[in-house]
Structure formats: structure tokens, C-alpha cells
Amino acid sequence: MTLCAATILIVDDEAPNRKLLEVLLQPEGYKTLSAASGEEALALMAQQAPDLILLDIMMPGMDGYEVATRLKANPATANIPIIMVTALADRSARLAGLHAGAEEFLTKPVDRAELWLRVRNLLRLKEYGDLLRNHSRNLELQVQARTAELQLFRTAMDATADAVFLANCSDTQFVEVNATACTLLGYAREELMTMVPEQPTAPGEVAHLFEAIITGPLDALTETSLRRKDGSEVEVEVQRQTLESSAQSIMVCVVRDITERKQARQDILHLIADLEERVRQRTEQLLVANQELEAFSYSVSHDLRTPLSTINAFSSLLGKEIGASERGKHYLARIRAGAIHMGELIDALLALAQVSRSILRRERVDISAMAETILNQYREREPARIVELDIEPALAAHGDPRLLQQVLDNLLGNAWKFSGQQAHACIAVKRASCTDGQEEFAIRDNGIGFDMAYAAKLFVPFEQLHSQSEFSGHGIGLATVYRIVTRHGGTIRAESAPGQGATFYFTLEKQPKEDGSSTPTMMSGLPPVESVKDMAPAELEPTHPDWKTLPSV
């Protein structure tokens, strides 16, 4: 506050007296307000508080004593200095004014020089008082903030799961510990705070405690053991760090109970050893199983194929012997067809088994060129068919060329076969989309299509949605495709409708694992590949009760 810019309220019921005081104060640069009564003065001060008040005593209604008493009783106006301006000069009037709270007195008529001196001195005292009060208020706020910070710090320390010890680096005495530290060691906070390891009378466990917590490398994790108050020990991990300030150097020690961790580590080591033993045993079992499977595959490939060849050969010879009997020829033709179909099933089963056992040899595969080669071979075998081919160029994938050849051969073979009834067939090989780093390939045809209600059967071995009389096949092709795609870390799905063609979408893993393996991924909405069904020799025709009404795939 600048003294010359101070605001002074003049309260007097006589206008000439108020005017006189304004004239005396304005040359000094003071701003003045005036009120003709005590009530008016209180109402004016509710809007704007002055820096000093010149208050007349004898006023009608509320006199100066009551106005001063009210002002001093109000904390908002209690610090405003009051100068009583009155014609009363007796001692009792002054005592009553002092009792009401006035700081000074001026006797009417007012002397200009005395007025200036008293106003200036009181304004200075008020300014100093305001500075002291503001400073005191700021200190109080700082103390409150500091107390809140300390309380927050203490609360945060107590809330941590780790034990925290703050030690003075000069005398290595604890200056603060949290609740977790007390719980960990079994000591009360006061006991830990009063421990002094340098004293000759300090018990051995105290010296050991300080050495284990404080002694050690900084900014590094060390494992040690601490002795509790009850004599038991606990395995801990300690991290130490120093905090420097102008007043002192503090070491912060964070102690974590690792008893359960070390026990868990031992349990994990035992589990790993047990797992390694189980893996070794299971590997031996798998080796034996693979050897048996190889023997079974050899038996299927040779021992079963030989009787089929014999049946086929002798059926042909028998046909020549029995002459021109149409019924006999028909029966022999059925026998030979069944033998041939059985041979094809054996070949398909062997191919399906080899897909799971073969080692993937990944390299870049030109999908566009491979598809074009396969479809051109179909054109050469059936040159009379009119088929429009739409192969998107530059389609490439990363995988085993031999297995991906089987994928395209089966999918394109189905597209060629099931679009055979169209006068103008269309087969397309396209890039469908690219999400999450994986390209999705689409093989589309305008063939007979199928009902999506039977989509769950598509990739299950021997599940066919058509009869042998309509379309030849053995029901292994799509199951083989499924296994190859999943071995490459991809997925396969189909979309179709009866009479509107079919589209098969598949993805392949873009970035193979370092060991060249892939984790099979289950298809959305499709079941896993089931075991091969038992096939009786007589099951040469589809046995589904509604096979004649099922659409072909």
C-alpha cells in the first residue's frame, strides 16, 4: 500500500465537518469517502474497505463508540485503524473511545499538521501490520503444506509393500521407517528410530541389522538375510541410494521380502526338472509311436495295396472268362471300381499323414505362377471346356512350395470340377485383404456352390456334400488343405450359396518362427480335423440319409 494512495473514510453527521476534513487530506494525495451516519458508514464499508477511518463520536442514531465496537468485532475490518474526531476533550470520552477500539484521537477543531502526522503514522503502522500478518499467513500456509506433504509422504511410505528405511549417513541412525519395515522386523517404530549401533552397549542383533540394511553397494540389488526381533531370519533384497541436500545426506534403503520368491524359484526349478524328465519320457514314447506309424504306413502302402491289385487283376481275367453276360460284367465292373476307389483312399490317407509329419521348408512361393501352371494343366486335359481364368499377378507367400502346391492343386481342382456344369465357367485367384501383416488369398468359382449350413463338414476327412455319382472324390482334399494351412500358421474359411459358386479364403503366416515351425491356428467357426473314420470295405457309396438332396462341393 502506498500511503499517498490510501483511502480514508470520513464519518460525521455534519456536512461542513466532512468537507473540511476532505480539504485537509486531499493535498496529501489521499482518497476520501464520506458517510453521514454510522449506519451509512457500515453499509459503505461492506462494499469497499478503507485504509483508515476518521470517526465522529456524537452522531444521532448509532454513535461513534458503537460503530468502532462493531468494526473491531468484525475480522474483516478489525485491522482498520480508527481516529476518533470529537469536540469532547474529557478523560472519560478518551477511555470510552479506547475501549471501543480507537487508536488515536483528534479534537475539533482539527489541526492540519496534527491530522497529517496521526494519519501518516497510523497508515504506516497498518502497512507494517499487514506485512507481518501476510508473512505470518504465508508461513502458516507453508507449514500446513509442509505438514500435508509429510503426511502424504508418510502415508505413501506406509502404503508401499516394501520396507523403507531412511538413515542419516553421518551417524547411520534411522530417521524414518515405514509401517512395512516394522511389520517385517517385528519392532515398533520408536524402537527402530532409537537404535544406535555405535553404542558399546548396543546388542548384537542391532549391529547386524544396521550392517545388513545400510552396508552394501549403492544403486544395486543385493540379497541378504535380516534377523527379526524374535530371533527368526527373513530373506530380503535390498536397494540403497543416497539423497544429498544442503542440510544432510540421507540413505534410502528399500527392503523387499523375497522369501516366497526364493521358495517359488526352488519350486520352479523342481518343476522344470520334472518337466524335462516328462518331456524326455514323452519324446521316447513319440519316437516309438512314430516308428509304429511308419510301420503302419508301410503296411497300408504295401500289404493292403497288394490284395487290391490282386482283386483288380483277377476281376479283369474273370471278366474275360465269363463271356458276354451283362449282369456279370456289371458286377465285375463294380468290384474293380471299388478296388480302384480303395486304392485312391489309401493314397489319400498316406498323403494326409505325411502332411503332419513332414518338415516345413520355407521359401518365397509365387502363388500366381503356381496357380497358372495348375490351371493350364487342367485346360490341356479338357481342351473342350470354356473356362475364363482371372489370376492376379505378383501374388506371393512364404511357405513350403511342395505343400502349397497341394493346397492350390486341391482348391483349384475343386473349382475346376464343381464349375464343370457351367457353359461359361469362371475361376479367379485374388488377393482378398491384408490385415495384421497377413495377406488373405481367395480362390473363387461360379460353380454349383453349397449350403453354408454344412460348412462345418468341409474340412473333416471323408465328409462329402455330394454323391460319387455326381462328382468323383474321396473327401480328403480339403482336410489336407486345412492341415497344410494351419501348419503354416494360417487360417482357411469358405463362403458360398447353392448355385452361386464358392470362394475359399486362406492366410499364411508372414514371418515364420526362427525354428521354422508354426503354431496351428483353429479356424473361426470350423471344427478341428477329426480322426479318420473306420471305413468298411462295403462303404463305397455315401451313407448320409439325405445324400441325394445334399448339394455338391
Kindly report, residue by residue over 400-409, the tens digit of the pLDDT.
998 999 899 9
Sign of CA dihedral 331, 333, 338, 343: positive
> Up-side HSE of residue 168: CA atoms within 13 Å toward CB?
12
Weakest-pLDDT range from 295-299, 423-427, 458-462: 295-299
Q: Considering all CA atoms of the chain, what is the largest pairwise distance in Å, rounded to the nearest integer?
A: 164
How many Cβ atoms from other residues are within 10 Å of residue 135's Cβ? 10
In angstroms, rounded to a whole number, what is the distance separating the alpha carbons of residues 104 and 84? Answer: 6
Of residues 82 and 149, the one with the higher pLDDT is 82
* Domains of the chain, residue spans: 3-135, 160-257, 262-303, 359-549
- pLDDT value at position 26? 87
- pLDDT value at position 313? 76
> Got the DSSP string for 288-329?
HHHHHHHHHHHIIIIITHHHHHHHHHHHHHHHHHSTT-HHHH
Q: Taking each helix axis as running N to C, give the angle between helix 112-159 and helix 15-25, from 0 to 180 degrees, rounded to the nearest 10.
A: 80
User: Does residue 96 surpass a pLDDT of 70?
Assistant: yes
In angstroms, rounded to a whole number, what is the distance separating the alpha carbons of residues 112 and 102? Answer: 20
pLDDT tens-digit profile of 73-95? 998 899 999 999 988 878 888 89
pLDDT tens-digit profile of 207-231? 778 888 888 888 888 888 888 888 8
User: Does residue 158 surpass a pLDDT of 60?
Assistant: yes
Find where cell 475364363 sits. 388
Instruction: State the pLDDT confidence band at 465, using cuts at 50, 70 and 90.
Output: low
CA 38 from centre of chain: 69
Spatial CA neighbour of 501 closest among 375, 407, 391, 414:
414
- pLDDT value at position 473? 62
% the chain with pLDDT above 70: 79
| β-pairing verdict for 492-496 and 502-507 | antiparallel
Q: Which H or E run contains 255?
A: strand 249-257
- Find the mean pLDDT for residues 183-212: 76
Weakest-pLDDT range from 48-52, 109-113, 293-297, 419-423: 293-297
Task: Look up the CATH superfamily of 359-549.
Answer: Histidine kinase-like ATPase, C-terminal domain (3.30.565.10)
Q: Taking each helix axis as running N to C, give the angle between helix 91-100 and helix 64-73, from 0 to 180 degrees, rounded to the nearest 10.
A: 30
- pLDDT value at position 553? 30
| Cis status of the peptide bond prior to 498, with omega within 30 of 0 | no
Decide if 86 contacts 41 (C-beta within 8 A). no
- Find the mean pLDDT for residues 261-265: 89
Q: Which H or E run contains 125?
A: helix 112-159
User: Does residue 116 surpass a pLDDT of 70?
Assistant: yes
Of residues 171 and 257, the one with the higher pLDDT is 257
From first CA to last CA, the distance across the chain in angstroms is: 97
**What's the grid cell of residue 351?**
498323403
User: Does residue 250 surpass a pLDDT of 70?
Assistant: yes
In angstroms, rounded to a whole number, what is the distance separating the alpha carbons of residues 219 and 241? Answer: 6
- pLDDT value at position 520? 39
Q: Confirm whether pTM is higher than 0.85.
A: no
**What's the grid cell of residue 495?**
463362403
- pLDDT value at position 279? 92
- pLDDT value at position 175? 85
User: Does residue 467 surpass a pLDDT of 70?
Assistant: no
- pLDDT value at position 460? 78
- Find the mean pLDDT for residues 46-50: 90
260-267 contact pairs (CB < 8 A, 24+): 262/235
- pLDDT value at position 435? 66
In angstroms, rounded to a whole number, what is the distance separating the alpha carbons of residues 35 and 71? Answer: 15
Alpha helices in 358-458 (DSSP H): 367-381, 401-418
Identify residue 311 by its one-letter amino acid code. Answer: I
Decide if 84 contacts 53 (C-beta within 8 A). no
Identify residue 370 by its one-letter amino acid code. Answer: M
- pLDDT value at position 368? 95
How many Cβ atoms from other residues are within 10 Å of residue 369's Cβ? 14
pLDDT tens-digit profile of 64-74? 999 999 999 99
Measured torsion, CA atoms of residues 222, 223, 229, 232, in degrees rounded to the nearest 10: -170
Instruction: State the pLDDT confidence band at 297, using cuts at 50, 70 and 90.
Output: low
- pLDDT value at position 336? 72
Question: What are the helix and strand counts (H, E) for the chain?
Answer: 14, 17
- pLDDT value at position 304? 65
- pLDDT value at position 28? 87
- pLDDT value at position 204? 60
Weakest-pLDDT range from 2-16, 323-337, 512-526: 512-526
- pLDDT value at position 519? 42
In angstroms, rounded to a whole number, what is the distance separating the alpha carbons of residues 452 and 497? Answer: 7
Weakest-pLDDT range from 102-111, 134-143, 300-309, 492-501: 300-309
List the Cα angle 400/406/408 in 5-degree steps: 100
Decide if 360 contacts 300 (C-beta within 8 A). no
Spatial CA neighbour of 457 closest among 496, 406, 409:
496
Q: Give rounded-to-5 percent helix, strand, coil for the chain.
A: 50, 20, 35
User: Does residue 203 surpass a pLDDT of 70?
Assistant: no
- pLDDT value at position 82? 94
- pLDDT value at position 349? 65
Q: Which H or E run contains 99?
A: helix 91-100
How many Cβ atoms from other residues are within 10 Å of residue 75's Cβ? 7
DSSP assignment letter at 516: S
Q: Taking each helix axis as running N to C, give the angle between helix 401-418 and helix 326-357, from 0 to 180 degrees, rounded to the nearest 10.
A: 140
* Torsional class of 214: left (φ above 0), alpha (ψ -120 to 50), beta (otherwise): alpha
User: Does residue 154 surpass a pLDDT of 50?
Assistant: yes
- pLDDT value at position 535? 36
Which CATH fold would you assign to the domain 160-257?
Beta-Lactamase (3.30.450)
pLDDT tens-digit profile of 495-551? 999 989 999 999 988 765 544 444 433 333 333 433 333 333 333 333 333 333 333
Task: Look up the CATH superfamily of 3-135.
Answer: Response regulator (3.40.50.2300)
Mean pLDDT of the chain: 81
> Got the DSSP string for 331-372?
HHHHHHHHHHHHHHHHHHHHHHHHHHHSPP--EEEEHHHHHH
Q: Which residues contact 196 (CB under 8 A, 6 or more apart)?
A: 171, 173, 202
> Up-side HSE of residue 99: CA atoms within 13 Å toward CB?
8
DSSP assignment letter at 92: H
